[in-house]
Amino acid sequence: MIKILSAQQIRALDAYTIQHEPISSIDLMERACRAFVGWFTERFDETQKVAIVCGTGNNGGDGLGIARLLKMWGYPVSVLLIRGGTDTEDFKTNLERLKGKVEVIEIASTDSDLFSRYDIVIDAIFGSGLSRPAEGIQAAIIQQMNQADVIRIAVDIPSGLQTDKLSQGEIFKADFTISFQLPKLAFFLPANHASVGEWCLVDIGLSKAFIKEISSSHFYLTSKYIRRILKPRSKFDHKGTYGHALLIAGSYGKIGAAVLSGRALLHAGVGLLTLHIPQCGYSIVQTSLIEAMVDVDAHEHFLTTLPSLDKYTTVGVGPGLGQDALTIKAFGKLLEDFRKPMVIDADGLNILSANRELLRTVSPGSILTPHPKEFERLVGKWSDDFDRLEKQKALAKQLKSVVVLKGAYTSIASPDGMVYFNSTGNPGMATGGTGDVLTGILTGLLAQGYSSVDAAVTGVYLHGLAGDLAAREKGMISLIASDVIDFLPAAFKKAMA
């Protein structure tokens, strides 16, 4: 799991590394420059004409160092320098080291067309030291960089983008952001995608001991972390070891949701599965999910009655349920009677939004899986992505449950204020039914005894990984929810390898 640190914590991390490794600040900067150049030279050849736009802080210092190294590699490089503010010591040193090696053009206005003779523009104006929106000459140059017909690459973070709070004003629109060691919170928020582009991390040897010790409430999920959670099977395990899940899903015209969810639940490793469905779904489910048992509702078309709940380890509820008055009543009774953690999705969430008194009865430790529209119904409109994140944390705390907000970088908020951003998944999964698949996986993991947070984190990761493996074979456009289920076994194998 990778910690996501605030701008202030990143500064402290830099300072700690310098003091305790120990390494001089300029040598650390040189390491950052080399790491950037390592990434760059693997992708672009020496025919590319490169402009590096530098400010006068340490991000600008990085830019100058990168210019010197790229020149050594044989790239045609120019530095465009924007004066203003105080020059940092490492900036000054790197400017000195550049003398006679690379052309440095000081730019004081944007009158001329600065970028038409370049193929690639590297942005080193502001890094994590940005303290207010870019304005004046910096803003005008960022604007011109954004309009130029070039490949845009940001050093550490796009200039103008705040690391951990709402950004305003002109922001560099990177095709690639090469970030030093740790990702920034800003990278995970939808509104920043156009600025951050495709991002990657390069290791610059910042203190691992400091990173381990420092507290953070934001994390980025890694395969290593998931492998540690997943439990291998033991010789004498039997189906009772892995729980009996009850899935309440489907209504007339939406029995497919129950089938998708149920299939995923079985492949997630549950011991036993019973589906509770309306009568119209009986033959469909019995023929398509032969491993599952079926309990039939009193109603032909939707949920109105509940089976006896005692024997179930956990419940997954919501996909394709509909919102008939009788369904709402049965759902309310389910929340009241089943006091163990359960997974609530789709119409389960919509019913909660429309019948807010039911929120009080959500069993602590449950997992709620809204997509952004369902989340808006639950918490109201948000003013920006940071506000949305706060609302997600608040709901998790209020319900003492895990709130999984689905989308790119699905975020998982735990009741104790932690947020985990998922690293798997792709836009091929933006297709009907993939959410139902996730509900099945999460219910399956809860049934097997994983804690709610572990089940949510692991399930979201595996769901995305299955989607990635499916997309590799089928492509994103043709990918359907069933493909995600088909690749779930491969995802489990890969995650546990």
Ligand X SMILES: NC(=O)C1=CN([C@@H]2O[C@H](COP(=O)(O)OP(=O)(O)OC[C@H]3O[C@@H](n4cnc5c(N)ncnc54)[C@H](O)[C@@H]3O)[C@@H](O)[C@H]2O)[C@@H](O)CC1
Shortest separation between residue 130's beta carbon and ligand X, angstroms: 4
For residues 266 and 270, what is the distance between their CA atoms, to the nearest angstrom?
Answer: 6
When asked if residue 132 is in the footprint of ligand X (CB under 6 A), the reply is yes
Query: Do 408 and 372 meet the contact criterion of CB atoms below 8 Å apart?
Result: no
When asked if residue 303 is in the footprint of K ion (CB under 5 A), the reply is no
With CB under 5 to 8 Å by kind, the binding choice for 435 among ligand X, K ion, ligand ADP, none is ligand ADP
Six-digit token string for 89: 């010591």
With CB under 5 to 8 Å by kind, the binding choice for 436 among ligand X, ligand ADP, K ion, none is ligand ADP
On whether 380 is known to bind a ligand per the annotation, the reply is no
List helix spans (H) across 111-206. 136-147, 193-196
For residues 200 and 263, what is the distance between their CA atoms, to the nearest angstrom?
Answer: 35
Per CB under 6 A, contacts with ligand X among 46-75 are: 55, 57-60, 62
Single out the residue of 40, 126, 176, 409 in contact with ligand X (rule: CB under 6 A): 126
For residues 280 and 401, what is the distance between their CA atoms, to the nearest angstrom?
Answer: 33
For residues 159 and 10, what is the distance between their CA atoms, to the nearest angstrom?
Answer: 16
For residues 420 and 453, what is the distance between their CA atoms, to the nearest angstrom?
Answer: 10
Best CA proximity match to 429, nearest among 479, 465, 472, 474? 479
When asked if residue 180 is in the footprint of ligand X (CB under 6 A), the reply is yes
When asked if residue 123 is in the footprint of ligand X (CB under 6 A), the reply is no
Q: Which lies closer to ligand ADP via its Cβ, residue 120 or residue 379?
A: 379
When asked if residue 159 is in the footprint of K ion (CB under 5 A), the reply is yes
Best CA proximity match to 300, nearest among 282, 283, 277, 279? 279
Identity of residue 135: E
User: Applying CB under 6 A, what is the total number of residues that bind ligand X?
Assistant: 26
Single out the residue of 138, 192, 401, 448 in contact with ligand X (rule: CB under 6 A): 138
When asked if residue 29 is in the footprint of ligand X (CB under 6 A), the reply is yes
In the sheet that holds 103-106, the strands lie side by side as 103-106, 77-81, 50-54, 120-124, 151-155, 176-180, 198-202
Single out the residue of 14, 90, 123, 345 in contact with K ion (rule: CB under 5 A): 123
When asked if residue 85 is in the footprint of ligand X (CB under 6 A), the reply is yes
On whether 57 is known to bind a ligand per the annotation, the reply is no
For residues 481 and 65, what is the distance between their CA atoms, to the nearest angstrom?
Answer: 48
Identity of residue 458: T
State the residue number with the nearest CB to ligand ADP. 435
With CB under 5 to 8 Å by kind, the binding choice for 32 among K ion, ligand ADP, ligand X, none is ligand X
Non-local (6+) Cβ contacts of 236 within 8 A are none
For residues 134 and 167, what is the distance between their CA atoms, to the nearest angstrom?
Answer: 10
For residues 246 and 426, what is the distance between their CA atoms, to the nearest angstrom?
Answer: 29
For residues 340 and 366, what is the distance between their CA atoms, to the nearest angstrom?
Answer: 8
Residue whose entry in the numeric block shows the structure tokens 């944007």: 110
Q: Taking CB under 5 A as the rule, which mask of x and - marks residues 55-94 in contact with K ion? A: ----x-----------------------------------
Non-local (6+) Cβ contacts of 136 within 8 A are 84
With CB under 5 to 8 Å by kind, the binding choice for 159 among ligand X, ligand ADP, K ion, none is K ion
With CB under 5 to 8 Å by kind, the binding choice for 293 among ligand ADP, ligand X, K ion, none is none
Single out the residue of 102, 129, 259, 351 in contact with ligand X (rule: CB under 6 A): 129
Q: Crossing angle of helices 346-354/434-447, nearest 10°?
A: 90
Single out the residue of 120, 134, 245, 315 in contact with ligand X (rule: CB under 6 A): 134
Residue whose entry in the numeric block shows the structure tokens 């970088």: 409
With CB under 5 to 8 Å by kind, the binding choice for 129 among ligand X, ligand ADP, K ion, none is ligand X
Which residues make up the interface to ligand ADP (CB under 6 A)? Answer: 346, 371, 406-408, 410, 425-427, 429-430, 432-436, 438, 463
Question: Residue 266 belongs to what H/E stretch?
Answer: helix 255-267
Q: Which lies closer to ligand ADP via its Cβ, residue 410 or residue 448?
A: 410
When asked if residue 271 is in the footprint of ligand X (CB under 6 A), the reply is no
Strand segments, DSSP code E, in 11-95 are 50-54, 77-81
When asked if residue 25 is in the footprint of ligand X (CB under 6 A), the reply is yes
With CB under 5 to 8 Å by kind, the binding choice for 123 among ligand X, ligand ADP, K ion, none is K ion
On whether 90 is known to bind a ligand per the annotation, the reply is no
Q: Burial of 236 by CB count in 10 Å (0-12 exposed, 13-18 middle, 19+ buried)? A: exposed
The DSSP bridge pattern shows strands 293-296 and 103-106 to be unpaired
Single out the residue of 153, 154, 185, 389 in contact with K ion (rule: CB under 5 A): 154
Instruction: Identify the three-state secondary structure at position 190.
Output: helix
Q: Which lies closer to ligand X via its Cβ, residue 156 or residue 468?
A: 156
Six-digit token string for 172: 């560099």
Of the listed pieces 54-62, 276-284, 445-453, 484-492, which binds K ion according to CB under 5 A?
Answer: 54-62
With CB under 5 to 8 Å by kind, the binding choice for 154 among K ion, ligand ADP, ligand X, none is K ion
Binding site as annotated, residues for AMP: 406-410, 435
Sequence ranges of the binding site for (6S)-NADPHX: 58-62, 127-133, 156, 257, 320, 371, 436
Sites of contact with K ion (CB under 5 A): 59, 123, 154-155, 159
Give contact residues for ligand X (rule: CB under 6 A): 14, 25, 28-29, 32, 55, 57-60, 62, 85, 88, 126-134, 138, 155-156, 180
| Binding residue numbers | 58-62, 123, 127-133, 156, 159, 257, 320, 371, 406-410, 435-436
